[in-house]
Amino acid sequence: MNSEELMRLVKENQTYHPSGERYKTMEYRRAGKSGLKLSEVSMGLWQNFGSTNLFEVMRNLIFTAFDNGVTVFDIANNYGPVAGAAERNFGAVLARDLAAYRDEMIITTKAGYGAWRGPYGGGDGSRKHLFASLDRSLKNIGVDYVDIFYHHRPDPATPIEETCYALKQMVDAGKVLYVGISNYDLAQTKAAVACLRELKVPFVLSQMSYSIFDRFVETSGLKAFAHENGFALTAYSPLAQGLLTDRYLHGIPEDSRMSRGAFLKKDRLTDGMLQKIARLNEIAAARGQTLAAMALSWVLKDEDVASVIIGASGPAQIRENLKLNTSFTAEELAKIDAVSLG
């Protein structure tokens, strides 16, 4: 039996069959000057995919994203809250429902934060931690390689040359196709890029927090440096942990992230912040969008950002967040700046 016949049998025996229309509305952007294309929206598995979540809910979220053209699934070794849980849950869905579509997916993972006990699992940039973490991730997900492997955060205690050479060897071993970094400031990024380029590593992405409320990649010069040096950004927290949605327009819902005190604290929702959210919501409504869809569109307004990473608690939330319009008038951008920066 050849590989095509085997793949046909796998597809016929899977209960999930993706939409035949899935590539008609999603846009795909190159990761900088590389040949790699990313769906402009990525499915983030940080929240709602861990050890405390229902498996069928996770499956439906992944199916909804894939049915709507999302090809990038963003994970990390520490996503849980039990470390590795998000990888294992995604791997279970992949094996059960999506194995035949592996070549249509960009699977990413990361290492750099604590993921297991002992001196080698606490998270750093050493060869030991990075290689051990990658091997654990491949087993968790059930794949031979990941498309993108990020060093999740800089490690001042480890020479950048050691980290970069470990990333090169992962690529050389065929376990990683492309390399990225995350949470590196401008100086750290410059050092990493110089080292990775010297080693001829396919470095393509920097993953950073970026939203209407968080302009660090702009003010630090990181976004301009990415543009000048041929790599792109992927943006996490593009909705500012939910502030850039209509969830908090009328207070704090009982089932919200803020009510649980997880990452988004109640002291963020000041009267001034509520006024900003309300005014931004008005701008979005005038564009025919929800606040969330406008906020995602804003991050994607130029090609320096290859993809925005969204989380979701339900399929409807994913579908609504995909109603993008990345074209803004100068007047709209000025109004958004006046609100968010004022």
Q: What is the pLDDT of residues 286-320, one digit of tens each?
A: 999 999 999 999 999 999 999 999 999 999 999 99
CATH class of 26-341: alpha beta
Task: Say how far apart CA 342 and CA 339 lie, in whole Å.
Answer: 5
Amino acid of residue 301 = K
Grade residue 49 by pLDDT with cuts at 50, 70 and 90.
very high
Closest CA to 59 of 314, 336, 240, 307: 314
For 133-162, what is the mean pLDDT? 98
- pLDDT number for residue 342: 84
Task: State the helix-helix crossing angle for 160-172 and 127-141, rounded to 10 degrees.
Answer: 40
- pLDDT number for residue 106: 98
Helix, strand, coil in percent for the chain, rounding step 5: 45, 15, 40
Q: What residues contact residue 330 under an 8 Å CB cut-off, 6+ apart?
A: none
pLDDT at 324 over 90: yes
Over residues 91-110, the pLDDT tens digits come to 999 999 999 999 999 999 99
Grade residue 1 by pLDDT with cuts at 50, 70 and 90.
very low
- pLDDT number for residue 6: 46
Indicate the SS3 state at residue 33. coil
Grade residue 13 by pLDDT with cuts at 50, 70 and 90.
low
Over residues 73-95, the pLDDT tens digits come to 999 999 999 999 999 999 999 99
Indicate the SS3 state at residue 252. coil
For 141-158, what is the mean pLDDT? 98
Q: What residues contact residue 229 under an 8 Å CB cut-off, 6+ apart?
A: 193
DSSP string, 50-73: STTS-HHHHHHHHHHHHHTT--EE
Tell me the domain boundaries of the chain.
Answer: 26-341
